[in-house]
Structure 1
Amino acid sequence: MIALSNLRFTCTTTRVARTGQPVTKCLARPPRQQHVISLSYSGRIGRRAVLSSAALLGALLGQRSVAVAAGQLEIEKVLEDPRWPEKWPFRPENFQRYDESPDSFFYSQPRFVTHIDDNAINALTKFYGEVFPSSGLESVAILDICSSWVSHYPKGYTAGRVAGLGMNEQELSRNVQLTEYAVKDLNVDAKLPYANNTFDVITNCVSVDYLNKPLEVFQEMHRVLKPGGTAYMSFSNRCFPTKAISLWTATGDADHVWIVGSYFHYAVPGGFSAPKCKDITPKVLFGHTDPMYVVYASKQA
């Protein structure tokens, strides 16, 4: 994060992704060297919400965020000393969005596209291959929330149950790795339609920034995870800026790691293991690649 006096209240569309729609770098860190700040706001969120979110994270993270931006602290270490406040530090306005119209409208048309570049996708798939239970086990159950037409799981990976929960039925029906799917808007009702202690793994790919009821969703994830099961929240610096919460668009990569870690920490006190971060941003010799981070924690047995 940078000083508030340096914040620029613009929403800069840096490229048109394969979505066919503009996708904004919500706060990019171009090729692992520099932290670039772009804030989105509107009359609906307003400067107050964005400034409030930026100021709040500045107070909570302080020089640690600056150190990450300057390359003096590895982003993975943000959660090694998170210094959690005693109480949930966020306010309702931190979860406001530019576009508060029903998400069902926004996601009504299917998007058979990917929202991160191929290098980031490959890095995430490789990571999943390293942490998932062995393929082919009938006893294993996996849940992909905010799912779509592709989950970026390893090619050929199977489990007894692979459930997808998303916003668009046409997208979900195209996801060949799912054994079942359900359509639901978690921003309207965070209740997951699954029994207690069901899943070994929960994944969420580049969508945690859209959740406006994150505590409720993380409480539900804890409920449906088996004891010892793990939830993996992966994210980059790409988003639909009109639908991302102001807390996200007002802050940077290090802050995002802390924010997602805080969801685990506060959702069910003592219910998750201490959250950790893995920076899986691919190293490339030439050109640019999207950064990629995973924040994860396990349900305490």
Structure 2
Amino acid sequence: MHCPAKLQVRWPEEWPYTEADFARQDESTDTGFYTHPRICTHVDDNFIATLNKHYGKVFPTYPNARILDLCSSWISHYPTEKTWSHVSITGMNEYELQQNKQADDYTVRDLNENPKLPYEDSSFDIVTCTVSFDYLCKPLEVMKEVGRVLKPGGMVILSTSNRCFPTKAVNIWLQTGDLEHVLIYGSYMHYSSVFERPEALDLSGPLCRLGFQDPVYVIQAKLLGSSLWR
């Protein structure tokens, strides 16, 4: 069930995080960590079905959309019924990206090494990122890049659960819980200064509350109409 969060968040005036917040247990190159393909799912079937259903409601509101999937893999969890015109994906493992049947093109990119997205301004209507923004050491820079490549009024959709590779997730993620994770994602959108107020959705089912399913959280926001990121 869709449950928009009604929290009235009062953000600090300045970026509240420190460099240590984005340190990791394993600071070795991510290229090495992602060398071997992982043709598997990192969340349960209910999470995938729930996110798929959410995308199925949002995507048609942008007819013939151009979509970008960040930190992607062999699957993007998009609906079977195609309402978009083009999907670009970025990720760490080329073999995984090559297996993604919904992608029209792919780019191998380590966003921790280089947060610059390899796309022109205002290229996409929708940008998605599934259970991966918690691995980014430069999330504000990446979020600003998301704003740059989105068209005015376009939407960013981040999703998260309670699973991760703990050695590669940033410290602030490991030190906080589900509610704080939602706020952290929302703060990235807020401090980028190019998005409308973020909306948080708890799409978790009743079995999640009993510990039998992964929780499903979506944080999304529309890009402001003016080109504030330039």
The answer as to 2:1 corresponding to 1:76 is no
Match of 1:125 among 43, 46, 52: 52
Aligned to 2:228: none
State the partner residue of 1:59. none
Mind listing any 5+ residue stretches in structure 1 that lack a counterpart? 1-73
1:233, 1:134 → 2: CA distance?
A: 17
Provide the residue aligned with 2:89 in structure 1: 164
Once the two structures are superposed, residues 14-46 of structure 1 have per-residue CA deviations (whole angstroms, 9 ceiling, x without a partner) of xxxxxxxxxxxxxxxxxxxxxxxxxxxxxxxxx
Q: How many Å apart are 1:134 and its aligned residue? A: 6.0
Task: Report the TM-score when normalising by structure 2.
Answer: 0.92
1:142-153 matched pairs, under 5 angstroms: 142-153=67-78
- The equivalent residue for 1:296 is 220
The one-letter amino acid of 2:10's match is R
Q: What is the Cα deviation at residue 293 of structure 1?
A: 0.2
CA contact (8 A) 1:120 1:282 kept: no
1:3-14 mapped onto 2 (5 Å cutoff): none
SS at match of 2:206: coil
Maintained 8 Å contact 1:123/1:282 = no
Q: 2:107 corresponds to which residue? A: 182
What amino acid sits opposite 1:182 in the alignment? T
Seen in structure 2, the aligned counterparts of structure 1 residues 287 and 215 have a Cα distance that, compared at 3 Å, is closer
* 2:125/2:150 contact within 8 Å kept: yes
Aligned mate of 1:141, from 58, 66, 76: 66
2:59–2:65 contact (8 Å) kept in structure 1: no
Q: Deviation string for 1:240-259 (max 9, x for gaps)?
A: 00000000000001101111
Displacement of 1:140 after TM fit?
1.7
Per-residue deviation, residues 201-230 of structure 1 (Å, max 9, x unmatched): 000000011010000000000000000000
Pick from 198, 209, 225 the counterpart of residue 275 of structure 1.
Answer: 198
2:16 is aligned to 89
Asked if 1:213 corresponds to 2:142, the answer is: no
CA distance in 2, matches of 1:233, 1:298: 12
* 1:111 lines up with 2:35 in the alignment: no
Tell me by how many angstroms 1:82 deviates. Answer: 1.1
C-alpha distance in 2, partners of 1:156/1:101? Answer: 40
Could you tell me the TM-score, scaled by structure 1's length?
0.71
Q: Contact 1:75/1:254 (CA < 8 Å) preserved in 2?
A: no
Unaligned stretches of 5+ residues in structure 2? 226-230
Moved over 6 A (4+): none
Task: Look at both structures and tell me which one has the larger radius of gyration over its CA atoms.
Answer: 1
Helix, strand or coil for the counterpart of 1:178?
coil
Q: State the shift of 1:160 in Å.
A: 1.8
* Secondary structure of residue in 2 paired with 1:147: coil
Answer yes or no: is 1:231 the counterpart of 2:160: no
Quick one: which amino acid aligns to residue 144 of structure 1? D
